[in-house]
Amino acid sequence: MGLNPVVVAVDGGGSKTDAVALTLDGEVAGRSRGPGSSPQYSGVAPSVALVDRLVREASDGREVRHTGLYLSGLDLPSEVSAYRDAVSGLGWAAQGLVVENDLFALLRAGTESPDAVAVICGTGMNAVGVRADGATARFLAVGAISGDWGGGHGLGVEALFHAARDVDGRGPHTLLTGAISTEFGMPVPALTEKLHLGELPDAELARLAPAVFSAAAAGDEVAGDLVDRQADEVVAYVRACLTRLDMLDRPVPVVLGGGVLRARHARLEQRAAAGIAAIAPSARLLVLDHPPILGAALLALASAGAGPEAIARARTALS
């Protein structure tokens, strides 16, 4: 007797990727995890290679009836199409395939409301707003050229900026200077040189996000300003989504996810909550405690035609 067929869901961000295989009745049949798979950071081909490996590991030889891929870095329709084309020839994509941004997995993990907003703040930042009539609010999310800032990488870049100015005398002293030297095991100028020469990937600066929050908690003014700026950026995304969808006066759930927000830093969370309450008093904040792979799994099961009992079983297993 053969193994039961499965549905596979993948949630991939800038720092890690999770895959889960579920039977059509919602039982978890396999899991796998790997590094970040955002094509925006790694490129399409390396991302596809990683996702292919994780899907095969999770499914472990079972027939794959449907695959749902929810990845950060897929923001433009052309990017989604290109990624779908890149995986469509793989065996596990033959019977059913959905490719979308990981924001939709975050949204589904946090709420079933047809009117909702999700903001992700992990390695980078992005957001999506949805309305019951099908309208959506999206962002180009391709970096500084589309007005983006924030997340672990954005905080890390700014931390190094201020530390460099501390070292050479152009800026005020900040605890970030010592914290950066400790994290990377070298003085700030040496770190700058390695980044400039390509000896260290720029993405490594995301490692500095915890140091920013620690320095802010210790009273460092420079770090505190960065935390406040990050909170204000969360508010800006929420305001933009609700304004564009004409939902400022509705009791809309706002799902907050990603490593930076899931860490529940008090200063960040309190400032973001106050800012959102000021523009949308009826909005309901939800910091997602469940892994985003939950949302990807629920979406994949629904796309495969699974019933409410199977979806409820999967929610319990993955929560």
Please state which CATH class domain 111-289 belongs to.
alpha beta
> Cα 77 from chain centroid?
18
CATH code of the region 6-102+292-318: 3.30.420.40
Q: What is the mean pLDDT of the chain?
A: 95
231-287 pLDDT, tens per residue?
A: 999 999 999 999 999 999 999 999 999 999 999 999 999 999 999 999 999 999 999
**In the structure, what pLDDT confidence band is assigned to residue 2 with cuts at 50, 70 and 90?**
low
At 289 the pLDDT is 84
Given strand 6-12, what is the order of strands in its sheet? 28-35, 16-23, 6-12, 64-71, 97-101
| Fold equal for 6-102+292-318 and 111-289 | yes
pLDDT over 70, % of the chain: 99
To the nearest whole percent, how much of the chain has pLDDT over 90? 93
Summarised one tens digit per residue, pLDDT across range 133-165 is 999 999 999 899 999 999 999 999 999 999 999
According to DSSP H, which parts of the chain are helical? 39-42, 44-59, 77-87, 103-110, 151-168, 176-184, 188-196, 209-217, 221-244, 259-262, 266-279, 293-303, 308-318
Q: Give the domain ranges of the chain.
A: 6-102+292-318, 111-289
Confidence band for 290, pLDDT divided at 50, 70 and 90: confident
pLDDT band for 194, please (50, 70, 90 cuts).
very high
Please count the helices (runs of H) and the strands (runs of E) in the chain.
Answer: 13, 10
Between residues 231 and 13, the one the model is more confident about: 231
Query: What is the H or E stretch that residue 35 is in?
Result: strand 28-35
Those residues whose C-beta lies under 8 Å from the C-beta of residue 306, and which sit 6 or more positions away, are 7, 24, 25, 26, 314
- Is the pLDDT confidence value at 55 over 90? yes
Q: Is 285 helix (H, G, I), strand (E, B) or coil?
A: strand
Residue 1 reports pLDDT greater than 50? no
95 token code pair: 């019977």
Residue 229 predicted with pLDDT over 80? yes
pTM of structure = 0.89
> What Cα–Cα distance (Å) separates residue 27 from each residue in 40, 105, 111, 168?
32, 19, 21, 58
Query: Which whole-number Å values give the CA distances from 25 to 70, 82, 93, 96, 234, in the listed order?
Result: 21, 32, 20, 17, 37
pLDDT computed for residue 6 by the predictor: 96
Q: Are 152 and 260 in contact (CB under 8 A)?
A: yes
- Within 13 Å and on the Cβ side, how many CA atoms surround 3? 16
